[in-house]
Amino acid sequence: MGINVTPLQPNLKVYRADEIKIRIKGYKPSPERLPPGTRVKGMYFNGYPQIVKSEGSKPAYSVKVEKDVMIPTRDGVRLAADVYRPATQSGTFPVLIAFFGWQKDLQEMTRWLRNIPLQEYLDSPLWDGCIEAGDMDFFVSRGYVYIVPEPRNIGKSEGIGHRPSSMWPHPNDTYDVIDWAVRQPWSNGKIGMTGACGFSNTQLEAAEDPHPALRAITPFLNVYPEKGTYGFTGIFSCKMFNVLTGRHGNDSGPVPENTPVPPMMFKLPKEELERRLTEALSHPDIKYNSKWYSLLKYPMRCPVIFDALLESFHPTPPPHKDVRERCQQVAF
């Protein structure tokens, strides 16, 4: 005789990541090819020219990987970098550099995921927004060298970071990495920079006083130039709280620094720190929000957030000017 069992939680459902499908199954987006002169009124991106590029280049090389290459800087500190280059004994190639503190070894994950369609990975709850250095296999197989260094005080890189968080490389270090790359036997002396978000910020700063070999930058999805755009807002930036604590999706977030860098409370003059803290902690929108209030009142709960909150309360203008005047995008 069968026994009917009523579950204690009749609405319970087992969560499976592969059941989440935001896009239509089997759909692959592709450009709509139109003959020149076609009227595009009423179509997507109405008014924009629809351009179909010529057929792209094909892979011509396998990829050689060199892990933890130590790059010297002007003050003797060495930065650890992963170098991906065409597996050939001859020839020189243009170099692409992706430089930020989102963990160079994590960026290699794009190689592990090559058999997973990009759209499916981006729609997965396992997507990690920190993987922003780019697709090294795509470029290296087509004749580029790809370098992913880590800033000082991160991973196997030496030294102490210069900012509240070591994730942001100093422009001098970016310059020195480019200078090192130019002098390598596999380099043709032409350097470009790539990568999204934080990697973009490094590019914009590099273009302020560019190395002579820097020929192109691709700073897309950059979140940092907004600082200073709106002036005093009287609120904190919740976005940076989520980014710096790895809470936007399944993100891994920043890695710990080898040597902790003290927050601004240990570096600002006492009077300046007290003035800024008093202003923020007295603001009604902050005073009655226990999360923000406690993060300021107890800085060592999360030092990098302490700095980000105080900075976002009174944004400062970004250091970079119109980089198009300083670093033109030209062909390699």
Residue 163's pLDDT is 62
Residue 47 belongs to a domain: no
Residue 32 clears pLDDT 70, i.e. is over it: no
Identify the domain boundary among 223, 245, 271: 223
Q: What distances in angstroms separate CA 151 from CA 21, 38, 65, 127, 275, one per listed residue?
A: 37, 49, 19, 24, 32
Residue 141's pLDDT is 96
What average pLDDT does range 20-47 have in this prediction?
Answer: 62
Residue 77's pLDDT is 96
Amino acid type, 81 = A
What average pLDDT does range 138-146 have in this prediction?
Answer: 96
Residue 31 belongs to a domain: no
| Residue 193: CATH number of its domain | 3.40.50.1820
Q: What distances in angstroms separate CA 246 from CA 102, 130, 144, 239, one per listed residue?
A: 11, 9, 31, 11
Residues 219, 137 share a domain:
yes
232 φ/ψ angles, rounded to the nearest 5 degrees: -70, 125
Q: Residue 243 sits in which domain range?
A: 228-313
Coil, helix or strand at residue 86? strand
Residue 299's pLDDT is 82
Identify the domain boundary among 188, 205, 223: 223
Q: How far apart are CA 46 and CA 40, in angstroms?
A: 6
Residue 36 belongs to a domain: no
Q: Which two tokens stand for residue 67?
A: 């892990």
Residues 245, 172 share a domain:
no
**81 burial class (0-12, 13-18, 19+ CB within 10 angstroms)?**
buried
Residues 233, 209 share a domain:
no
Residues 205, 137 share a domain:
yes
Residue 26 belongs to a domain: no
Q: What is the pLDDT of residues 197-238, one digit of tens each?
A: 889 989 988 998 899 999 999 988 776 544 444 445 556 667
What average pLDDT does range 161-174 have in this prediction?
Answer: 82
Residues 99, 122 share a domain:
yes
Residues 307, 182 share a domain:
no
Residue 243 belongs to a domain: yes
Residue 324's pLDDT is 47
Residues 136, 214 share a domain:
yes
Residue 327 clears pLDDT 50, i.e. is over it: no
Give residue 246's Cα distance to chain centre: 13
Residues 148, 290 share a domain:
no
Give residue 300's Cα distance to chain centre: 25
CB atoms < 10 A from the CB of 128, how many?
19
Identify the domain boundary among 223, 256, 280: 223
Residue 78's pLDDT is 97
Structural domain count, the chain = 2
244 versus 95: the higher-pLDDT residue is: 95
The 8-class DSSP code of residue 203 comes to H
Residue 159 belongs to a domain: yes
